[in-house]
Each structure stands twice: as C-alpha cells, then as structure tokens.
Structure 1
Amino acid sequence: MKIGDIARAAGVTTSRIRFYERRGIIAPAARGANGYRDYPADLIAILRFIEQAQGLGFSLKEIASVEVAGGAHPISCDEAIRLLSRKLDSVAALIAEAEGRKRRIEALIAELRERRQDAA
C-alpha cells in the first residue's frame, strides 16, 4: 500500500509515518522498482496501536520497546494488560504526588493569608 493510503486508513499523517520510520518505531517500508514506499496492510493496526498508546501516556521509547506482531491485534491481551497495569501504577503515583503538592500549596496560601491578616 502507498503511504497516503496507509495514513488515511490509520488516521495519521504521512509525515508521522515517516517520523516513526526514522525513529525506528516501525520498520522501513520496502521500495518498489519505481522508488515508492510500499507498506504492508498490517501497518494500519500497528499505527492505530501507536496512536492509542501515546494517547494513554506511553512514550515512543516505551512503545518502541514493545514487540508487535502483524494482524488485527499488534500485541497479546496478556502483554497489553501487563503494560497497562504498569502505566496505571505510574499514573496513580503521579496523581498522589500532585495531590501532595496541591495540599502543600493550599497550606502555604493559607499561611500567607494568615500572616497578611496578622500584619494588617
């Protein structure tokens, strides 16, 4: 398939596909005798997987470390559960850290307001 066809089917831009190739996220396309890139139809599912993973907070480095297969499901359910569980733990830790930071900021605001009141 040509790059434009793959891009439309996967809902990404052609420049994004080229970027993924340069970064080693996806395998380089074979080139036909005419010099055009020729992509396998399986790439559509892989590109959708990459986009979904990025939307869930996975970095390209994390995505590149996953061994993907061809077909409609680029990774197994077991692998997806393992990766998602690890990401969920990471997100929970970030939320806890942010909540702690929020409490410290609120306490500092309250303290500063109290000092301002005492000084007035």
Structure 2
Amino acid sequence: MKIGEIANAAGVTTSRIRFYEKRGIIAPAARGPNGYRDYPEDLIVLLRFIEQAQGLGFTLREIASVEVRSGPHPVSCTEAISLLARKRDAVDALIAEAEERKRRIDSLISELQESQARSED
C-alpha cells in the first residue's frame, strides 16, 4: 500500500508515518521499482496502536521498547496489562502530587486572606 493509503486507513498523516520510520518506531518500507514506499497492510494496526498508546501518555521510547507482533493485537495481552498498570500507577502518583500541591496552594491562599482581613481591620 502507498503511504497515503496507509495514512488514511490508520487515521494519521503521511508525515507522521515518515517520522515513525525515521525514528525506528516502525520498520522502513520496501521501495518499489518506481522508488515509492510500499507498506504492508498490517501496518495499519500498528499505527493505530502507536496513536492509542501516545493518547494514553506513553512516550515513543516506551512504545518502541515494546515487542511488537503481527496480527490484530500488536502486543500480547499480558504485556499490555503490565504496561497499562505501570502507566496507571504513574498517573496515580502524578494525581497525588497535584492534589498535595493544590492543598498547599489553598492553604497559602487562606493564610493570605486571613492576613489581609486582619490588616484591613
């Protein structure tokens, strides 16, 4: 399949495919006699997986480290569950950190409001 066909089918841009190829996220495409890239149809599933993983907060480095296989699921369910659980734990830690930061901000606002109210009396 040509790059435009793959891009349309996977819902990505052609430049995104070239970027993934340049960074080693996907294998380089074979070139036809005319010099055009010729991509295998199963790349559609992999591109969708990459986009979904990025949407869940995985970095390209994390995605590239995953052992990809062919078929309808580019990653084994066992590995996917493990990766997702670790990402969830990291998100939970970020949420806890943000909540603590918010608590400290709220506390400082309260202190400043009280100080302001005392100085206005």
Q: Unaligned stretches of 5+ in structure 2?
A: none
Q: Which residue is equivalent to 2:7?
A: 7
When normalised by structure 1's length, the TM-score is 0.98
**Superposition pairs for residues 1-120 of structure 1, below 5 Å?**
1-120=1-120
Offset of residue 40 of structure 1: 0.7
State the superposition RMSD in angstroms. Answer: 0.6
The count of corresponding residues between Structure 1 and Structure 2 is: 120
Offset of residue 2 of structure 1: 0.5
**Secondary structure in structure 2 of the residue aligned to 1:51:** helix
Letter in 2 for 1:118: R
Matches of 1:96 and 1:6, distance apart in 2: 40
**Secondary structure in structure 1 of the residue aligned to 2:5:** helix
C-alpha distance after superposition, 1:13-72 (max 9, x if no partner): 101000101111111101111100010111000000000001101011111111111111
Offset of residue 118 of structure 1: 1.0
Matches of 2:71 and 2:33, distance apart in 1: 26
Q: Unaligned stretches of 5+ in structure 1?
A: none
| Identity in percent | 75
Matches of 1:42 and 1:69, distance apart in 2: 10
When normalised by structure 2's length, the TM-score is 0.97
Letter in 2 for 1:26: I
Displacement over 2 Å in runs of 4+: none
